[in-house]
Amino acid sequence: MFIVGASLKATDFQRLQRQPKSILLLSLGPLLLLPALAWILIILFQPEPLVKNG
């Protein structure tokens, strides 16, 4: 992660200022989609309670 951050340039941040929706979608996407996907998989596969509860 440090190498990726070190390679950022000013133009990368300027692009983010022009497209604030992309930041919001990319930040909230995993928070909303991954729990929903896990819930759907639990319903579909009906795992044992020990597996289902983590």
Q: Encoding tokens for residue 1?
A: 């992660």
- The whole-number pLDDT of residue 9 equals 92
> Is 23 in contact with 16 (CB distance < 8 Å)?
yes
Of residues 32, 12, 35, 14, the one with CA closest to residue 24: 32
Q: 1-54 pLDDT, tens per residue?
A: 788 888 999 998 898 889 888 888 888 889 999 999 999 999 999 999 888 787
- The whole-number pLDDT of residue 47 equals 92
